[in-house]
Amino acid sequence: MTALPPFQTVLDDHSAAVMAILQGAVGRDSADDCFQETFLAALRAYPQLGDASNLRGWLLTIAHRKAIDHHRARGRAPVPVAEVREVAVEDGIPEHDPGLWAAVGTLPPKQRAAVALRYGSDLPHSEIATALGCSPEAARRSLHEGLKRLRKELA
């Protein structure tokens, strides 16, 4: 087990990556709010974190959750339109399937983060790699392994 470093170190080392991911996921205007929520949630949970070996993956998973919360909140807010459509729209956004996301939640951290960043935040492999602090090849592999496990679990 790695000792938890001072939280300031976590901020210093990962704030740029978290901001980059959030700007990609929710846009520049909302990224600041999600950034604060991410680091406050991280700070609240930090003393209970058992393992400091993948702090970046941990933070990005939280950031991703905050991005989804943001999209959900926006999705619930009424959008003014000229004409109300009569047919319900099913756009197939993955977070509408709670069973699927519960399964994603059981993946190992790297795979979970890779899947979340790819399909939740719609990031390309290169940015997932930056976020996870690994090579694009390793990011692709984590994603692939994660998807394989999900298929098996949900089959």
Partner 1 sequence: MTTATERSIGLAIDKVRAQAAAEGLLDVAYATADSPFGPLLLARTERGLVRVGLPNQDAEELLADLAARVSPRVLEAPGELDEARRELDLYFAGKLDRFDLPLDWRLSGGFRQRVLRAINRIPYGQTRSYTEMARKAGNERAVRAAGTACGSNPIPLVVPCHRVLRTGGALGGYGGGLPMKEGLLELEGVLDGKGTS
Residues that bind partner 1 (CB under 8 A): 3-9, 11, 15-16, 19-20, 32, 35-36, 39-40, 43-44, 46-47
Residue 127 C-beta: closest distance to partner 1, Å: 15
d(Cα 51, Cα 123) in Å, to the nearest integer?
Answer: 26
Residue 114 C-beta: closest distance to partner 1, Å: 24
Nearest CB to partner 1, comparing residues 36 and 135: 36
Residue 139 C-beta: closest distance to partner 1, Å: 22
Residue 14 C-beta: closest distance to partner 1, Å: 11
Nearest CB to partner 1, comparing residues 16 and 93: 16
Nearest CB to partner 1, comparing residues 46 and 101: 46
Q: What is the 3-state secondary structure (H, E, C) of the chain?
A: CCCCCCHHHHHHHHHHHHHHHHHHHHCHHHHHHHHHHHHHHHHHHHHHCCCCCCHHHHHHHHHHHHHHHHHHHHHHCCCCCCCCCCCCCCCCCHHHCHHHHHHHHCCCHHHHHHHHHHHHCCCCHHHHHHHHCCCHHHHHHHHHHHHHHHHHHHC
Residue 22 C-beta: closest distance to partner 1, Å: 10
- On whether the CB atoms of residues 57 and 153 are closer than 8 A, the answer is no
Nearest CB to partner 1, comparing residues 21 and 143: 21
Nearest CB to partner 1, comparing residues 43 and 154: 43
